[in-house]
Amino acid sequence: MTRLLATFALLTALVGGPVWAAQPAAAQPPAATDEFVPVGDLPPEEQLPAAPLLVGAYAFMWVAVLVYVGMLWRRLGAVQRDLEALRRSQPR
Amino acid sequence: MLQRLVPFLLIATMVAFAVAPVLILRAPYESTMGLVQKIFYFHAPAGIVMFLAAFVCGINSARFLFRRSVRADHLALAAAELTVLLGTIVLVTGPLWARKAWGVWWTWDPRLTLSLLLWMMFGAYLLVRRYGGPGAEKLAAAVGIFGMCNVPFVYISVNVWRTLHPKTTVVPSLGPGLREPFWFCVVAFLLLFTLLLALRVRLAEQQAALDARYLELADRAPASAPGAVS
């Protein structure tokens, strides 16, 4: 069942990606500039601050690495416990 | 050898990642992108080390396929996981930069699309290893070799096709102030990669030892079981 679900997820990603990519782009490239506008005059949705993006990028990198290290630590611990339990249970 | 270096690597990596933010903060702002360009100091080194991880996986997959080296198989598996991890970092930090620099989170640009394809190939490697059943190591090794072959295309894509992504000439042309933190971060990511590779190989070796013990027990069980027919 798990294998079937994993295969389905993989196929969906492989087929769905190109189909999604083939959709016409919603946002057209911006037209050539014919006047300069002070940044303060831009609508709020276009005044995008850089700091949250920068902090978000660094935070994500740290979270990804720490989650991976945590998973590795847990798996190493579990395998070592199993090995120890087997060693103890086997008479020499 | 790699295992004996783990304590040194752990300390060196921690020091490097503690110093890196200081160097990045002190680096001058890039003239056109300003603050958001500082994502470059983690995004590009993660990409470079992702390429290295893909090569380690591909070369060791070939060694496993043609020489039946179990150690190479462990290295290939560890490197494939790290390619996916680093690829995830690259594919998430890139759009955060792009949103400010290009005005869009994602565009089907050759570099971005090929990077996503590379990430998916190594994701497929891990899926084959996890769910492929008996003989999955050999199938996965073939996927690993094809994944590695994709790396040169990702690298040259910015020079060959018209693209929004900065070209490969950006790195060699980095000026003083921008160059030092960048190369420092490359070294930090290399240390992190080597440390995680060593730990993941250790896990693969322990799992192999555990499997061998279970097989040994299964072989012994019928002979020692009461009433067993020999």
Q: Is A86 on the interface with B (CB under 8 A)?
A: yes
Domain residues for the domain of B127 are 6-28+36-168+175-211
Q: What percent of chain B has pLDDT over 90?
A: 65
Q: What are the start-end ranges of the H helices in chain B? A: 6-26, 40-67, 70-101, 110-131, 136-160, 179-224
CA–CA distances in Å: residue B59 to residues B63, B118, B178, B227: 6, 16, 33, 50
What pLDDT is attached to residue B116? 96
Q: Which chain B residues are closer than 8 Å to A86 by Cβ?
A: 210, 213-214, 217
* Most B CBs within 10 Å, among A4, A14, A53, to test the B interface: A53
Average pLDDT score, chain B = 90
Q: Which residues pair with B30 in a beta bridge?
A: B34
- pLDDT tens sequence across B88-135: 999 999 999 898 888 889 999 999 999 999 999 999 999 999 998 888
- Between CA B68 and CA B61 the distance in angstroms is 10
Chain A CB contacts of B42 below 8 Å: 57-58, 61
Phi/psi for A36 (5° steps) reads -95, 135
What pLDDT shows up at residue A2? 73
Highest mean pLDDT among A8-22, B57-71, B164-178: B57-71
pLDDT of residue B227: 47
Q: B221 lies in a domain?
A: no
B107 found inside a domain: yes
Q: Which of B181, B93, B102, B101 lies closest to A56, judged by CA?
A: B93
In a domain, B223, yes or no: no
Question: Are the beta carbons of B87 and B118 closer than 8 angstroms?
Answer: yes
Of A13-17, B155-159, B168-172, B187-191, the one with minimum mean pLDDT is A13-17
- What pLDDT band is residue B70 in, cutting at 50, 70 and 90? very high
Chain B residue with the nearest C-alpha to that of A5: B131
Between CA B116 and CA B93 the distance in angstroms is 13
Of the candidates B52, B44, B45, the one whose C-alpha atom is nearest the C-alpha of residue B165 is: B44
Residue B96: CATH number of its domain: 1.20.120
Instruction: Give yes or no for A22 touching B (CB within 8 A).
Output: no
The answer to whether A65 faces chain B, any CB pair under 8 Å, is: yes
pLDDT value at B229 more than 50: no
- Which chain B positions have a beta carbon within 8 Å of A25's beta carbon? 107
Chain B closest-CA separation from residue A89 CA (Å): 11
Mean pLDDT within A32-40: 65
Domain ranges of chain A: 51-92
Q: Is residue B56 part of a domain?
A: yes
In a domain, B226, yes or no: no
Q: Is A77 on the interface with B (CB under 8 A)?
A: no
Q: Which of B167, B188, B45, B51 is nearest to B111 (CA)?
A: B167
Residue of B nearest to A76 (CA): B203
Tell me whether residue B216 is in a domain.
Answer: no
Give every CB contact of residue B79 below 8 A, 6+ residues apart in sequence: B53, B54, B56, B57, B60, B197
Contact B217 A86 (CB under 8 A): yes
Percent of chain A with pLDDT over 70: 60
pLDDT at B218 over 60: yes
Predicted confidence (pLDDT) at residue B230 exceeds the cutoff of 90: no
Q: Is B5 left (phi over 0), alpha (psi -120 to 50) or beta?
A: alpha
Predicted pLDDT at B228: 47
How much is the pLDDT for B223?
A: 59
Q: Which of A5, A42, A54, A66 to mutate to test the interface with B (most CBs of B within 10 A)?
A: A54
What's the pLDDT score for residue A71?
Answer: 94
Q: What is the average pLDDT score of chain A?
A: 77
Residue A15's pLDDT is 67
Count how many domains chain B has: 1
pLDDT tens-place string over residues B133-142: 888 999 999 9
Q: Is B228 contained in some domain?
A: no
Residue B217 lies in a domain: no
CA distance A48 to chain B (A): 7
Q: Which residues of B touch A91 (CB under 8 A)?
A: none
CA-nearest residue to A21 within chain B is B108
Q: Which two tokens stand for residue A10?
A: 């993989």
Confidence of residue A31 (pLDDT cuts 50, 70, 90): low
